[in-house]
Structure 1
Amino acid sequence: MNLLLGLDKGADDYLVKPFSSRELNTRIRANIELSLLRRKILFQLCKQEEMKQLLFSITLFGSEINETFLYVAKQIHRRLPCERIHIISNNKSKDNKIVTLYEDSENITQNIGNNKSKSQTFTNLKKCLDNKPGIDVYSDVYCDNVHKNVSILSVEIRLNNDVWGWIKVHRSSNSIWLDSEIELLQQISNQTGLAITYANLLKENAAKEIQLKAAEIANKTKNQILANTSHELRTPLGVIVGLLPLFDDIPLTNDQKDMISIISHASDVILSIVNDILDVAKLEAQKLTLTNRTFDLLELIEDTFETFGKKASDKKIELILNCNIDILPRYVKSDPERLKQVLSHLLSNSVKFTNRGEIILTISVQAREVFDEYEETSTYSQTTKKENLLIELCDTGIGINSEYIQYALESFSQGDTSITKNQDGTGLGPSICKSLIELNGGEIKVKSRLGKGSKFWFTWKVELLSIKSSLETPFNEHVQTRILIIHPIEGVRNAMLKFLKKFEKVDVFDTFDKVLVQQNHIKNLMIDRLMI
């Protein structure tokens, strides 16, 4: 019967192998010891899991740090036999403060005011644990708060290698503190430090979130005020700008003409600033969108160039357009108003800050991707390609200090104010250019040296339309045209050569004297031939 019971418990080897009573006792004793060891291991694993859950739960209170302290005190009291638990903050400039007090009578007090931790007068033995810094054990100490001797276990709460405070646990005098109890309190103290750090981070994040929302609301309000004000300003400005041309047909003295010119210039500047502010408000509110329509690219560039031609001429600087019209497409699809706005802002800056030399605008095409589309009508056929225009603007102006280049494309940035203070504008132009270019899917970059000039270049996405009209007549190849170019600046000569590339007979000289020398040379050659 006993053998059958043994078999039910898994001792099947008892039936197979011969055994004596001594062997049986040995095996039973070994099984009992293994069973006890298994229970100890399971108990230890359960305690470890319970400790993990406790440490994890300490941080669940989030920013409610006072509730965390109460929870910590209750958990310590539940696991350690003790009479009182103090959680004390370390106030270096003032007296230390007891933030939580838990007593055996279930009486809990929070933030009970400033109390000197040193008021617990230590009168007897103090034992310091050298191998565990931050942990102190006092076996028999007189405590003024309870008017008797107690045994104290004190563990530091540390934040970022600094002492935030202490957890102090009281027992009756001459009590023994086990290593497991000391280790438990140290683990709880470490987790309490993490909970305090987490709570502080939550408070900081909440404060930053409030600041961001306040800044966002203030920014929206500012943009709305700017937009409303700008709209109100544009109406009277439009009247002034519209009435000023009427004075052209009225006889005026020179002084009166000068005053009209000043008013006209001032109104143009103010209108430009108002328009810039409106664009900035729309861009920041993400209410500005680009259109996509077909336009004549060459015509747009020429019109923009003509706008600044007089200003450049008045300052005696060369304004050069450098492009190969045989390669550059004529008809494209994009937003012509915004492209013209970007070109105008950049050209305006170059003319404004260039007092001598030249400004060169170079336009070329960067292949991007082919857009498979073929349309055919009775009058023309059209294929479409998506490509990027590469637009480069170089000038010999005052340049930008290396310290200010990174801010050159930011709002209200005007570089070194000691240099730019005499110029008009708010510095919004480059920022608007950058936003419009990025909205189109391109990018803008700048390179500059103080006193040597600047170079801005950007890409602008367009759809190239290759239009072949059936109504067009072929070019009359029998027409013979000879062109003579005389200009002292090499950049201008090269740009004109590119523009006139389809003409075979183009002569280029930098001075008129060289033209005469060349003509005399040709005449001499002709005379020599006639004499022969």
Structure 2
Amino acid sequence: MIYSGHDLIETLSNIIKLICNILPCNRIFVISCKPLTLNTSNNSLVALYENLENIIPIAELFQDKEIINLHSQSTYSQTLLNNDSEIEVLLNTYCADTCKNVSMLTIELKINDSCWGWIKLHRSPNSIWLNSEIELLQQISNQISLAIFYKTLMEENLEKEIQIKAETIANEAKTQILANASHGAIIGLISIFDFSTLTNNQKDMINIIQHTSDFVLSIVNEILNITKLDVHQITLVNSTFDLLDLFEKVIEQFTKDVENKQIELILNYDIENLPRYIKSDPERLKQVLFCLLLNSIKFTEADEIVVYVSIKLQKIIDDKESNTHSQAVKKECLLIELHDTGNGHQDSIGLGLSICKNIVTTNGGEFKAESQLGKGSKFWFTWNIDSSLLNNRFNSPISYILPSYIMLKRILVIHPVESARNAILRYLKMVKKVDAFDTPSKGIQEIKNYLELYNHSIYDIVFIRLYEKNKDEVMKVLLELREMDMYGNDLLIIFIVSSGNKGTILAENLISKDGGRVAVIYSSITWQKITTLLSNLRDDAVKNKT
């Protein structure tokens, strides 16, 4: 029966019923401290059988020649336990499940010299266990242990076969999908426009086609990556790339999603300490970021998602020579954190969170996730990079320097989301004067106070977050700012709007009602967007003067 059964749980259930007939007891059960199969959890009750009618009275048990007095039996049990930890006999112990005292015989089930679980028998308290009964149960438990090992091994081999077949099918599916979608033709068509003169709208359309095409291919590749990771076939391919550019491109893929949900997607990037270029596997890093953002956006309906990127020094023990001469060396790695204000759920989307962890682990980093229902989720992971580029020509001290003419400007940031204000302040930290407020009224009051004291305008540039819900308030503030700009300071107002049609239309409506200098920047705000916008505005001003 042990070896012929296909379902291990059903087999164990049938076995303990037969044991109950051979070794009279009122309760017999099997507990596992390790997963029974690849699809079950550990520390669980695997099989249970109770038969209160099949109990031999204690008086009859005492008639057996092998029986000695209770005191001697208790001493024997303790001695047996000391000599063989696989067996435990307790003549009178409390059972929490049945809420009463019992006499219990426990024998350990072992696989590869490690404990898998236990088989336990209960009798009435102070009932004894014969030597022959203990030996018989031990023989049966040895056979059960072998059966569990055999069936677990068979299941693992079956899983590996399925994974290998899945990878083969996925490769064939990829070829078919790309053929049907004419992905190669799309890429070829896009490349024709590389040397063509296009309007800004046409360029935007081409970029959308490019991103969509790449996204389709990434989905197909994710199917392959899942199977490759499961059979440990994935490898990392390192190359030198622009780190900030990678983050910005990943975030841009979610602009429509965050616009539709009206949530803030914020990149807080440590430009003071991070290198501009690094050497690592950019594709694997993008896959992890994409999956985590996809998960957060799905379960976040309001407020914000923040991605923090910083550099972390970690100590690594160098014990190549010997343990006695080992020494700790410092090595740089990226620390990437993602916080959202979603409902706290975590989903296996795209590569899946477990696949993300595998990729990070393959890179030699750590991956952790925590969530609280109704309060959001937090993910963080470390990503090892090649530090040899930190001091070469790619990473000069001016890697993240703003345009020089901006350094002496005075800037006001009005944004209701604290995380967004903090990110913008970090990007503008090198500027002479930067203030930030959560409401327009606070910013206006600061300007008025300064005018009363010094009779002069306090700011040269004002960033204002513009939503559909606050457009009337922003319009009022816009008029007040123009009125207070009495000294011809040529105040520049930059509207921060969501990417997409809604944000563009919203900004254009306000710009049409204003006669001063106005510009638009699309969220998510990044250092690169700010520098590009300010550089272009500077170039336009020079052209106009010329």
* Normalised TM-score (structure 1): 0.49
* Normalised TM-score (structure 2): 0.48
